[in-house]
A and B are shown apart, each in its own frame.
Chain A
Amino acid sequence: MKYSYPGKIEALKGVDLHIRSGDYVAIVGGNGSGKTTLAKTLNGLLRPSHGSVIISGQPIEKMRLASIAKYVGYAFQNPDHQLFCSTVDEEVEFGPRNLGYEEKEIKEKTGHAISIMGLDEVRDEAPLSLTLGLRRRVSIASVIAMDPRVMIFDEPTTGLDAKEIENLMDNIALLNEEGHTLILITHDMKLVARHSRRVIVMANGRVVLDSDPRGVFSNLDLLRESSLEPPPVTLLAHKLSDFGVRRDAISPDELVRSVMSKGAR
C-alpha cells in the first residue's frame, strides 16, 4: 500500500502488513516516519493512492468512513480536537449514536466505556473543564463506546505524568483482554516494551523492522537510525552483555534474573 499527500509528498512508500485479530501492535518511528499516515489509512481517514486496506476480508475502499468507524476506532492525540458536548456522558454517547445503535445499546456501550476509563465520577461534568489526563480518557472512552474491533491510539500518553500514564495504559490493556485488536502509536519505548506483543518500526514511509519487542530492542543501530531510544533497561543489558548477561532483557525483572543467575555461577 502507498499513500501520497496532495502535493506529491509520498508519506507511505510501500507498506505491506497483516495485523492479526486480537493482537497488541505498537507502531513506532521518528517524527515524519509515516506512522500516523499509516494509522489514518487503516480507518479510511486517508485513502491509499495505491493498494488497499482489508478488514476481515472486506476491502474498505468503497466503504463510507462512518461504516468503517464501526470496525476501526481512532483516538486522536489531542482530545481537545473532539470534545464539544456539555457532559462526559453525552460526549461518549456521540459516537454510538452516529453509528445508529439502539437507545439501550447506546447506554450499555457508554456505561462500559466510562467504567473502563474510570470516568464514573465525572459523568455529569463538562469534558472541557477536566484535566488533560481526564480529557484524554473521555476522548478514548468515546472511541471505546463505538465498540470497534480494532482501536488505534495515537500517542495517548503525551502530556501525562508517570502515574497517569501507568493507569491509562493499564486500562487500555483491559481492552486487549476483552479481545479488541489494539494499535498503539507512540514514541515511548517503555510502553512498547511493557505492553505490546508486536512492534512495527517505521522510517521514511517504510516498515524497517517488524518483530516482537525483544527482537526490536536488540537492534540498537536500527533504532537509532529511526530516531528512537530503546528503554534504559535494554541499554543497560547491552552494556552488561560483555559480562555474560542476556542482552535482550526488556524488563527490569528479566535483567535482575539474568544478572543474579550469572552471579550465582
Chain B
Amino acid sequence: MMPVFVDLYAPKNTFLHRLDPRVKIISVILISILALLLASLIALTLLLVVIFVLLFLARATFARTMFALKFVLRFMVLIVILWPFFDPSGTPVLASLGPVKITEPAILRGITSAVRVGCLATVWYILLFTTSQRDLVRALVKLGVRFDFGLTLAIALRFLPTFSSLIDSIKDAQRARGLELNKGGILTRSRNYLAVLIPTIVAALRTADTLALALQSRAYGARADRSYLRELNMRPSDAFVLGLLVVAFVVPLVAKYGFAVPL
C-alpha cells in the first residue's frame, strides 16, 4: 500500500522554504501564465527543466515527488497519445484511416501541450512542497482574501488528514462486517459504498457542529479588526526573487510578441 500524503508540505530549511509565501504564490501564478502563453516546445521544455531544478532545490524526496508526479505523468502520456487523433490539421499527413488523419504538426502540438500541462502541475507542487498550510492561508489573507475564507480554507486543509483516517477506520469497521467494497458491478459497488458514506457524513456533520461551538466559545468574530501573532515581512531577498521572476516573466514574452503587443 502506498502511503498517502494528504499534506504535501515537507518541513525543511531551504531557500525556497524560507521565501515569503506571498512571493511564492505570485511566482507560481506568473510561471503558470507563462506556461500558458509560451507556444514553442523548446521554451516550454526549458521551463519544465527550470521547474525540476527548483523541485530539486526544494529537496523534495523521491517518494513524494513520484507520488505527486505519477498522476501528472499519466496525464501527459495520455495527451501525447490522444492529441493527434483529434487534431487532423496541418501537413505532412503521416497516416490516415477514414476521417482520422495523423499529421506531423499535430504530434508536435500534442507533445507541446503535454509539456505545458507538466509545467502547470509541477510548479504548483513546488508551492505545496515548500509552504506550510498555515503560511499559505496567511499569505492569501495578506494578499486580500477575506479572513473568513482563509480560515475556512485552513480548516478544510486541517481536516483532510483527519477525515482520511476516519474513512479508513469506517472502511475497516464495515469490512469486518463482511462488506466487500471492490466486488460486483457499478450498482452493487455504489450501494456498498453507502455503508461508508453515511457514517462519514454523520461524523463530518458532528465534527462541524463541535468545531463551530469551539470557535464561538473562543470568541471568534468578536472584533472586526484582527491582529496577527506572526506578521509576514518582505525581506530584501524576497524582493530580489520577485524582481527576478518578473524579469524572467517579461523577457520571453517580449522576445516572442515584441514591444508592440501590450501584455
Contacts and interface: CB of A to CB of B under 8 A. Distances in A.
Nearest to B166: A81
A76 B199 contact: no
Interface in A73-105: 73-74, 76, 78, 80-84, 94-95, 98-99
Contacts, number: 71
A95 B198 CA distance: 16
Interface stretch (A26-34, A62-70, A195-203): A62-70
Contacts of A94: 177, 179, 195
Given A81-B173, A82-B199, A69 B178 contact: yes
B180 A98 contact: yes
A43 interface: yes
B176 A74 contact: yes
Interface SS of B by simple majority: helix
Given A45-B172, A128-B202, A82 B3 contact: no
B176 A73 contact: yes
Nearest to B1: A6
Interface residues of A, number: 27
Interface string B10-25: 0000000000000000
Given A76-B173, A82-B170, A66 B3 contact: no
Interface of A: 6-7, 40, 43, 45, 64-66, 69-70, 73-74, 76, 78, 80-84, 94-95, 98-99, 128, 142-143, 146
27 contacts: A6-B2, A45-B172, A45-B175, A45-B176, A64-B180, A65-B175, A65-B176, A65-B180, A66-B175, A66-B178, A66-B179, A69-B178, A73-B176, A76-B172, A80-B203, A80-B206, A81-B169, A82-B173, A82-B177, A82-B195, A82-B199, A84-B194, A84-B198, A84-B199, A99-B178, A146-B177, A146-B178
Interface of B: 1-3, 166, 169-170, 172-180, 194-195, 197-199, 202-203, 206
Given A45-B176, A80-B203, A84-B194, 13 more contacts: A45-B175, A65-B178, A69-B175, A69-B176, A70-B178, A74-B176, A80-B199, A81-B170, A81-B199, A82-B177, A94-B179, A98-B178, A128-B202
